[in-house]
Structure formats: C-alpha cells, structure tokens
Amino acid sequence: MKHKIGFNKLNRVPAHRKALLRNMATVLFKHERIVTTKAKAKEVRREAEKMITRAKEDSVHNRRVVGRKITDEAVLAKLFTDIGPRFKERNGGYTRILKLGERQHDAADMVVLELVDRKDDGKKAKREERKAEKKAKKAEKAE
Amino acid sequence: MAVPKFKTSKARTRRRRSINMKLTAPTLVTCGNCGNPVLLHRVCPKCGFYRGRQIITPDTNA
C-alpha cells in the first residue's frame, strides 16, 4: 500500500516537475545556496540529499546514476570531488532551510536553501566592497 | 422551498463574526542583533541576521 508517502506535485505535469527539480538541484550544487519558495525548497531538498548520499562514494555506477539527473558535467564533477567528500562524516541532513518571510508580490513563503557546510567564498565581501565604493563615488559627485 | 423567515440582524451577524472570524496578532520577538520586531523562526528582514549569523544582506535601497 502506498499510504502516507506523498510528495508535492508543485502544480506541474511530471516532465515539467522533473525538469524543475533537476535544474534547481544543479543550481544548488553550483552555488551552494539558493533563495526559493518553501514548497519548492522542500521538494528540491529531497532530490538533492539523495544525490549527495550517492556522491559520498565516487564510483562509475554512482556517477552514472546521478548523471542521469545532473547533465552539467562541471557541476557533476564538483558534486563528486568536492561536495561528496565534505559530507563523508554526516549521515543525512546535508541541507538547511532558513525562512525569510513572505514575498511582496504574491505572499509566497520564501526561504534560503543551503548546504550546511557552505563555504564563504568571499563573493559577499567583494560585493560589499563594491557597494561601498559606489557609495563613495556618489558622495563625491554630490559634492 | 425552505426560506429564512427573518432577516439576520446586525447584532446576530456581528455576534457570529466576533467568534468565528476573529483576527489574531502575529507573535513577535525582538531581533537579537538590531532589536527589530520579527516573526518567530524567520530571518530578520531589517538586518538579515538569524541565530547570530548574517544570512542575507538586506536591500539598502528599499
């Protein structure tokens, strides 16, 4: 019996849903953090965690199984050489969902979906720097 | 056909609504970083902090 093992169809036909989950999982592995709606995040997490569990053991078979879903070769390589080994010691729960509140436009519940051991790659600091520079320039112009 | 015999009075309508359509205020806590009132278990929209960690950089233009 298939009781109590449902999932969210996300109002999409199977092919559309499959594509959405694949794309979002790929982007999650690429950037290690994505902002999305709560419903999508929960479904993507499901797919992504299964893939990470596969990626913990780098074998031809595992690569092919995950490769059916992740077509971006660079991301697949990253998953098996970087993300997988990082989670060797962790049994499940590789991702984290942080609630952001409602989106202005349609009041959808927004969340951050991220890998729990996400490395800060310094991009943020750079962005801040650039922002500060811009502000300084603006202040100069105003004078 | 069954039809209401009397018009529902304002008092009766309001009495029903006062119980069945009650609004409740959201539970708010103060942000540990900036003191802004925030919803429970949510990232602070003002400073972008949650559980002592910078989660997002809030939009400064808004």
Residue A109: the pLDDT is 95
Query: Among B39, B57, B60, whose Cβ lies nearest the Cβ of A101?
Result: B39
Number of independent structural domains in chain A: 1
Provide the domain limits for residue A58: 14-117
At A91, give phi and psi (nearest 5°): -100, 90
Q: Kindly identify which residue of chain B lies nearest to residue A118, measuring between CA atoms.
A: B55
Query: Among B43, B45, B60, whose Cβ lies nearest the Cβ of A98?
Result: B43
Whether residue A128 lies inside any domain: the answer is no
Whether residue A23 lies inside any domain: the answer is yes
pTM: 0.80
pLDDT beyond 50 at B62: no
A116 — pLDDT class (breaks 50, 70, 90): very high
The enclosing domain of A47 has a CATH number of: 3.90.1030.10
Whether residue A62 lies inside any domain: the answer is yes
A114: closest CA among B17, B43, B6?
Answer: B43
Whether residue A24 lies inside any domain: the answer is yes
pLDDT beyond 80 at A132: no
What residues in B contact A112, CB-CB < 8 Å? 43, 55-56
Express each pLDDT in B21-43 by its tens digit: 999 999 999 998 888 999 999 99
Residue A99: the pLDDT is 94
Using the Cβ of B43 and the Cβ atoms of chain A, whether some distance falls under 8 Å is answered with: yes
Classify residue A35 by burial, with Cβ atoms within 10 Å: 0-12, 13-18, 19+. middle
Please report, for residues A17, A18, A70, A125, A140, the alpha-carbon distance to residue A10 in angstroms, rounded to integers and kept in the order given: 7, 11, 20, 35, 50
Using the Cβ of B42 and the Cβ atoms of chain A, whether some distance falls under 8 Å is answered with: yes
Express each pLDDT in A18-76 by its tens digit: 999 999 999 999 999 999 999 999 999 999 999 999 999 999 999 999 999 999 999 99
DSSP character string of A64-87 = HHHHTT---HHHHHHIIIIIHHHT
State how far the Cα of A29 lies from the Cα of A38, in Å rounded to an integer.
18
Contact A99 B43 (CB under 8 A): yes
- CA B59, B49, B47: angle at the middle one, nearest 5? 35
Whether residue A28 lies inside any domain: the answer is yes
In chain B, DSSP finds a helix count (H) and a strand count (E) of 1, 4
CB crowding B1-35: b at 16 or more within 10 Å, else e: eeeeeeeeeeeeeeeeeeeeeeeeeeeeeebebee
What residues in B contact A35, CB-CB < 8 Å? 56
A141 — pLDDT class (breaks 50, 70, 90): confident
**Residue to test with chain B: of A31, A98, A109, most B Cβ within 10 A:** A98
Give B62 to chain A, closest Cα distance, Å: 12
Whether residue A133 lies inside any domain: the answer is no
Is-contact A24 A40, C-beta < 8 A?
yes
Give B57 to chain A, closest Cα distance, Å: 9
**Block residue for tokens 């925030």:** B38
Is-contact A100 B56, C-beta < 8 A?
yes
Contact B56 A128 (CB under 8 A): no
